Amino acid sequence: MKNKCLQSPVAFILTCLSGVFMTSAHADPLPFVLEGTVVVSACGVLESEENKYVDLGRNSTRELRSVGSRSASHAISFELFDCPEGGNVSITLEGNRDLRDSELLAVNTGANTAENIAIELQNVNRERAPLGLPTTYVADQEGRVSTQFYAHYIVTQGQALPGIANAQATFRIEYD
């Protein structure tokens, strides 16, 4: 009996080699483990920086004589971290508004309170940062934003009258 694989080249290819290509080998499955963590990126300040205290000092009514007169400015630094790299970060100042100028922060009312003054907040360029309007920054490649605001007293009517001139403000941080 003759070998059928040798009778025809087409038969050889289709019949004899088909066994080579049809044969498959199997290895035991190889297990592998994938690990990771998904976290919330919370753009914000360090916990140690959450409550800021800014001492505006003792200021003489002699320096705060007329509408628009200002005391010395005091810096308020902000270091934000874990922000989206290259993302927009907005800081909005909030607080009780002065009755004469709603862009300014009102001083607290009560016994022995200074009168005819408010607190003006300014951005890093020393331009007024009105309450309720965001100032926008771009986070760097490490997700950080560094900036400063400034605060000082400003006379809103007549001449400043002496007394305690405290206030509270909130800095709201938003990012995308």
pLDDT digits (tens, 9 = 90+) for 121-147: 999 999 999 999 999 999 999 999 999
Structure tokens at 102: 């709603």
Q: What is the C-alpha to C-alpha distance for residues 165 and 159, in angstroms, rounded to an integer?
A: 14
What are the residues whose beta carbons fall under 8 Å from the beta carbon of 142, sequence distance 6 or more?
85
What does pTM read for this prediction? 0.74
> Mean pLDDT, to the nearest integer, of 161-170?
94
**How far, in whole angstroms, is CA 111 from its chain's centroid?**
38
- The dihedral built from the CA positions of residue 44, 45, 50 and 55, taken in this order, carries a sign that is negative
- The answer to whether position 133 is within a domain reads yes
- The answer to whether position 35 is within a domain reads no
Q: Is the pLDDT of residue 85 over 50?
A: yes
> What average pLDDT does the chain have?
85
SS3 90: strand
- The answer to whether position 107 is within a domain reads yes
Residue corresponding to tokens 């040798």: 6
Which CATH number does the domain housing residue 136 bear? 2.60.40.1090
- The answer to whether position 13 is within a domain reads no
Report pLDDT for 16.
47
SS3 161: strand
- Higher-confidence residue: 117 or 78? 117
Asked if residue 78 lies in contact with residue 148, where contact means CB atoms within 8 angstroms, the answer is: yes
- The answer to whether position 19 is within a domain reads no
Shortest CA distance to 72 belongs to which of 128, 120, 129? 120
- The answer to whether position 33 is within a domain reads no
Q: Is the pLDDT of residue 19 over 60?
A: no
- The answer to whether position 100 is within a domain reads yes
3-state helix vs strand vs coil in the chain, percent to 5: 10, 30, 55
Domain that holds residue 160: 44-175
Report pLDDT for 45.
81
The residue count of the chain comes to 176
- The answer to whether position 58 is within a domain reads yes
What does each C-alpha distance from 58 to 7, 90, 166 come to in angstroms? 112, 32, 12
The total number of structural domains in the chain stands at 1
